[in-house]
Amino acid sequence: MVHEVTASYTPQHNGLAERRNRTLLDMAGCMLKGKGMPKNYWGKAVSTAAYVLNRCPTKKLKEV
């Protein structure tokens, strides 16, 4: 694992993280809406979405 930094306030330079964050928000929103839960459960829904995504298999990245 390699820590890489990007320029401040330039999300276009951090596409993978931005995409993962969007996926988390979409999943959390679907969980809340699907069960009719109030928005004050938003934090729990995001935590649950992260828990689920971290346990999903992914493809190995090519060597850089």
Secondary structure, 3-state, the chain: CCCCCCCCCCHHHCHHHHHHHHHHHHHHHHHHHHHCCCHHHHHHHHHHHHHHHCCCCCCCCCCC
Task: Give pLDDT tens digits for 31-62.
Answer: 999 999 999 999 999 999 999 999 998 887 77
Q: Domain ranges for the chain, please list them.
A: 24-54
Residue 1's pLDDT is 61
Give the orientation angle of helix 15-35 with respect to helix 42-53, to 10 degrees: 120
What CA–CA distances, in Å, run from 20 to 17, 37, 40, 41, 63?
5, 23, 22, 20, 20
> Tell me: the pLDDT tens digits for 9-32?
777 777 878 888 999 999 999 999
